[in-house]
Amino acid sequence: MTNNPHPPKISVFPNKAELAQAAAEAFVEKARAAIEARGRFSVVLAGGGTPKDLHALVGSSPLKEQIEWSKVDVFFGDERFVPHDHEQSNYRQAFESLLKQLDSTQVTVYAVPTENISAEEAAKKYEKTLQDYFATKATPFDLVFLGIGPDGHTASLFPNHPLVTEENDELVQVIHDSPKPPATRLTLSFKSINAARDIIILAAGENKRAAMEGLLDQSVAIKDLPVKGIQTNEGTVCWYVDEALMGEELLKDLDL
Ligand code: 6PG
């Protein structure tokens, strides 16, 4: 992977609420386009806390009714290796903020298996789920949402970790030493994420400004800032950020 030759598209919103609204409207628009073009919409949800507002918006009126949920397939960008009802589970976060509101729809959810199985077996199982779904080793998800940490990690791809520094061909990977607890997680790989048609990176708050500065600094390598490794060949990568993350200086530098 080169050091992201294409400058990322950055959309700056006044606050988290307007960021979430814009991301929710993008969800609706991309769902409509995918269903119109291919009959189904495959979307990968981000973990952590940032997507909660977005999830609440697409799971309630008026946006909920604008999505043909019976033609939507939901996947997870990464998952903490805990039971789905555990407070640290990304499945639980998605269920509480979105999926429980879709009970009456026929949405299809492909959860990462985390019980009565080893993490390695779970990764193999989820990888097979993806391969069977796409009927190829590629994963052209219609839309992938990602968050980032202050250190520039995304999904569970952390700085200077072998999952980031070593070439690999897997679609789903296991980490046992995540610097962000819990230690054991499953994550889509760069290969899996970057095959997507569209990627939206959601990031808000001043505590993530250093990651944006690193993104814009050509001298910063992907191994030190994994989110820089998020780059699609044919698709688009767009950052949805708020003004608190950018700060006055970056906004001025980028003339945003
Ligand atoms: C996870 C996430 C992780 C998250 C970022 C941002 O499972 O923890 O996938 O990559 O998106 O750490 O988390 P917040 O949105 O809570 O800041």
- Report the C-alpha gap between 187 and 132 in whole angstroms: 18
pLDDT of res. 114:
98
pLDDT of res. 2:
52
pLDDT of res. 1:
53
3.20.20.140, 3.40.50.2300, 3.40.80.10, 3.40.50.1360: CATH of 9-156+172-207: 3.40.50.1360
pLDDT, mean of residues 188-192? 97
pTM for this model (two decimals): 0.97
pLDDT, mean of residues 72-96? 98
The closest-lying atom of ligand 1 relative to the alpha carbon of residue 79 is 7
Residue spans per domain, the chain: 9-156+172-207
pLDDT of res. 141:
98
CA nearest to 197, candidates 229, 154, 147, 233? 233
pLDDT of res. 96:
98
**φ, ψ dihedrals at 10, nearest 5°:** -120, 120
> What's the CA-to-centroid distance between 28 and ligand 1, angstroms?
22
Residue with tokens 């700060």: 247
Q: Which residues line ligand 1 (CB under 6 A)?
A: 46-50, 77-78, 80, 90, 147-149, 153-155, 180
pLDDT, mean of residues 187-212? 97
> What's the CA-to-centroid distance between 180 and ligand 1, angstroms?
9
Kind and range of the H or E element at 73? strand 72-76
> What's the CA-to-centroid distance between 159 and ligand 1, angstroms?
14
What mean pLDDT value characterizes the chain? 95
> What's the CA-to-centroid distance between 149 and ligand 1, angstroms?
6
* Residue 225 buriedness (CB in 10 A; 0-12 / 13-18 / 19+): buried
Residue with tokens 């940490």: 149
